[in-house]
């Protein structure tokens, strides 16, 4: 009897494992598990004003926000690479039927120690050391005319900068991942995976945090997210030596 129970339990576990793996996203560069979305799904880091609340991308002419929704970001690293993923409800750009215009998806910015525009990953697959940035576009259908939202939205693409390396980029699409709570229908979900060599960033691990930022050309959604970064052993060693020097100097003066 016990043997039959154990066999049944094993088969049940196998069924659940198979079922779970069937819906898990097929990550290529790094396994982030099933976390396609995060707290940014259907929320935004911008207050769009009365009547909109925390919903992202209020859109125009009654289109709603799902077309312009940046929905999640993952970050990880190992000894060799930095890995990122961004989930969004739009492809290379977002098209507005009301304005008959297409608005580009922004570059993925990141920075260290409280900064967010040190570097950027461009749509062309370049890792750029950023010199200047460009804000949301001064075209119909954008939030350019609203200085509060325009300033809150920040940069959407690199203005000028220096390319310091290449980024591996893989885009995948699964229209079954999400049901749109705003319009009541299914919408495409795109997952962008990024990978680049950690050695390209000389200051990686020198500070305790990294901040990511991505926006749309129209300013209809903003994703900003911070992660803690564990300092490299060499950085910790230098910090320890520096603190030791300060202590010794203090004792000498005493």
pTM recorded for the entire structure? 0.78
Domain parsing of the chain, residue ranges: 25-247
> Distance of alpha carbon 30 from its chain centroid, rounded?
14
pLDDT at 98: 81
User: What stretches of the chain adopt beta strand conformation (E)?
Assistant: 70-77, 81-88, 93-96, 101-104, 108-112, 119-121, 126-135, 155-166, 168-173, 190-197, 209-215, 222-228
Mean model confidence pLDDT for the chain: 78
Q: What share of the chain is helix, strand, coil (3-state, %, to 5)?
A: 20, 35, 45
pLDDT at 69: 84
Q: pLDDT (tens digit, 9 = 90+) per residue, 149-179?
A: 899 999 999 999 999 999 999 998 765 665 5
Residue 128 has what pLDDT? 98
- Whether the CB-CB separation of 209 and 112 falls below 8 Å is answered with yes
Q: Residue 55: pLDDT above 90? A: no
């Amino acid at each position: 009897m016990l043997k039959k129970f154990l066999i049944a339990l094993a088969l049940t576990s196998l069924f659940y494992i198979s079922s779970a793996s069937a819906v898990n996203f097929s990550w290529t560069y790094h396994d982030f598990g099933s976390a396609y979305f995060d707290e940014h799904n259907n929320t935004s880091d911008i207050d769009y004003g009365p009547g909109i609340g925390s919903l992202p991308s209020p859109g125009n002419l009654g289109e709603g926000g799902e077309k312009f929704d940046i929905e999640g970001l993952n970050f990880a690293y190992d000894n060799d690479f930095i890995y990122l993923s961004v989930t969004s409800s739009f492809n290379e750009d977002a098209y507005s039927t009301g304005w008959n215009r297409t608005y580009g998806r922004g570059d993925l910015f990141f920075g260290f120690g409280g900064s967010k525009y040190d570097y950027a990953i461009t749509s062309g697959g370049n890792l750029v050391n950023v010199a200047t940035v460009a804000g949301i576009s001064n075209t119909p259908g954008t939030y350019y005319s609203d200085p509060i939202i325009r300033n809150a939205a920040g940069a959407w693409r690199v203005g000028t900068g220096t390319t310091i390396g290449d980024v591996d980029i893989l885009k995948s699409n699964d229209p079954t991942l999400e049901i749109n709570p705003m319009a009541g229908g299914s919408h495409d979900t795109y997952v962008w995976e990024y990978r680049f060599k950690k050695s390209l960033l000389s200051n990686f691990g020198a500070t305790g945090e990294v901040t990511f930022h991505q926006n749309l050309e129209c300013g209809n959604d903003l994703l900003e997210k911070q992660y803690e970064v564990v300092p490299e052993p060499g950085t910790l060693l230098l910090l320890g030596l520096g603190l030791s020097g300060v202590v010794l100097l203090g004792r000498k003066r005493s």
